[in-house]
Structure 1
Amino acid sequence: MKRLLIALKYTAYLILGFVALLLIYIFCEFLLSRSTVNEIPSAEEKTITMYLQSNGVHTDLVFPVHHPQINWSTVFSYENTVGKQTDFRYVGIGWGDKGFYLNTPEWADLTISTALVAATGMGETALHVTYQKNIHEDELTKKVLITETQYKKMIEFIMSSIDMDASGQPIYIKTDAQYGKNDAFYEAKGSYSIFYTCNTWTNKAMKIGGLKSSRWVAFDKGILYQHHESIKK
């Protein structure tokens, strides 16, 4: 009986310790994600329209498919989508845990095993690429105007995140877990964890581009918060 009470006591300590760490994590994430890293001033004209877009879990950077700096369809082939259509105006690019992406399109699909692998950084990572014909601003889609230089920096960051094959091409992931007819997954570099999530990657791209961003963010709400005023413009 005494051993059982001791065991229950330490189990309670472990549970309370876990809950305390979780609350600290959430509290710190909220504070830091609402703390702003201001855009680096530039005299260059903002001629490019991009978007920050969330599906409620993952955030994407959305750019014009065709631009003098890059044609994204030559990087991520239309042929790798189910629909294989080619008349798209925009492309959304996001980074994250491969298992999380393929198995958790929505929070309701999350399993304990997927969460543990993602949280500990033990899994592989992937890029999720989605082609779109039109974009409509709403609470999960924010318009951001950027300069040519800012775009160039973000392009370089995205390209550095792609895991290429021997011929220098992105490695397409063959899967039935594609979210629709116009998206595809590719192998990526980097390690996902609770401290570096898909939304951290999006935020880092914004920082590298010299754009308004969060000091640190783990969830989509923080990075969207930094551009909440854009929907009113």
Structure 2
Amino acid sequence: MIIIKKIVRIALWLIVSLVSLTVLYFLIAVLLTIIPANSDFTEQKKGINIFVISNGAHTDVCVPIKNKIIDWKTLVDTTDFEYRYHSFKYISFGWGDKGFYLETPTWAELKFSVAFEAMMLPSPTAMHVTMYDFILKESELVKKITISESQYKLLKEYIENTFALDSDQSVQPIDCCRYAGMNDNFYEAKGYFSLFKTCNVWTNNALKTAGVKTAVWAPFDKCVFYHLD
């Protein structure tokens, strides 16, 4: 009986601790979302249009496929993609947990083991790259930001530096899977995914690096969008 009471007490302590930590995590997320980084940012009247895209949970940074600063086709070979349009207009970049990306093409296929590892353990990452042959339009899940050339250069360097390169200094495609209805590919990436460095934190840091007004820390897509509305 004493042993059972101890087990129950420990179980209750674990549950209370888990709930408390979860509440604390969300409170910190809210606080650091409300507090802006780059609060003096002013959107350019004329400049380079970039987009932040969300699928309701995960965010990407979308940029012109080519301008005088960079032609992204020199970094990412378009022949690696399923559809090889000659008129690509935009390219989006997302960073995230490798296992989650490759093993969860739809939310219906989400496995507990993959979700647990992604959220609770530092795990390897991948870059998700998508090509678009049309100009994106703003919506609830797509926000446009106009930045200067100097800001775009900083964003470019941030994105480039996230790819894990091979000995020839080339990106490394992961030829295993693609998402239905998307012209996309996956590539090896630097860094580890965790509760504190999520896919949305990567996107938020991209905006922060470019000098855009955004959250101090943004673990969720709504945190990234908070200062963009």
The answer to whether TM tops 0.5 is yes
Q: Percent identity?
A: 37
Unpaired runs of at least 5, structure 1: 229-233
Unpaired runs of at least 5, structure 2: none
**In the TM superposition, what whole-angstrom CA distance separates every residue of 1:72-117 from its partner, at most 9, and x where no partner exists?**
1221122122223232211111111111222334554433211222
Determine the structure 2 residue equivalent to 1:56: 56
Give the deviation of 1:177 after TM superposition.
4.0
- Matches of 1:105 and 1:221, distance apart in 2: 22
Relative to structure 1, is the Cα distance of residues 179 and 97 closer, same or farther in structure 2, using a 3 angstrom cutoff? farther
SS at match of 1:172: coil
Relative to structure 1, is the Cα distance of residues 72 and 121 closer, same or farther in structure 2, using a 3 angstrom cutoff? farther
Give the deviation of 1:178 after TM superposition.
3.2
Determine the structure 2 residue equivalent to 1:231: none
- Kindly indicate whether residue 167 of structure 2 is the aligned counterpart of residue 185 of structure 1: no
SS at match of 1:185: strand
Determine the structure 1 residue equivalent to 2:135: 134
Partner amino acid for 1:218?
P
Relative to structure 1, is the Cα distance of residues 52 and 7 closer, same or farther in structure 2, using a 3 angstrom cutoff? same
Determine the structure 2 residue equivalent to 1:27: 27
- Matches of 2:43 and 2:101, distance apart in 1: 39
Partner amino acid for 1:33?
T
Question: Normalising by structure 2, what TM-score?
Answer: 0.92
Do the aligned partners of 2:54 and 2:142 also contact (CA within 8 Å) in 1? yes
SS at match of 1:190: strand
Relative to structure 1, is the Cα distance of residues 109 and 219 closer, same or farther in structure 2, using a 3 angstrom cutoff? farther
Relative to structure 1, is the Cα distance of residues 71 and 210 closer, same or farther in structure 2, using a 3 angstrom cutoff? same
- Kindly indicate whether residue 146 of structure 2 is the aligned counterpart of residue 145 of structure 1: yes
Match runs of 1:11-26 below 5 Å: 11-26=11-26
Do the aligned partners of 2:123 and 2:192 also contact (CA within 8 Å) in 1? yes
Q: How many residues align?
A: 228
Determine the structure 1 residue equivalent to 2:169: 168
SS at match of 1:189: strand
Question: Normalising by structure 1, what TM-score?
Answer: 0.91
Q: RMSD between aligned alpha carbons?
A: 1.9
Give the deviation of 1:179 after TM superposition.
4.3
Partner amino acid for 2:142?
T
Partner amino acid for 1:102?
L
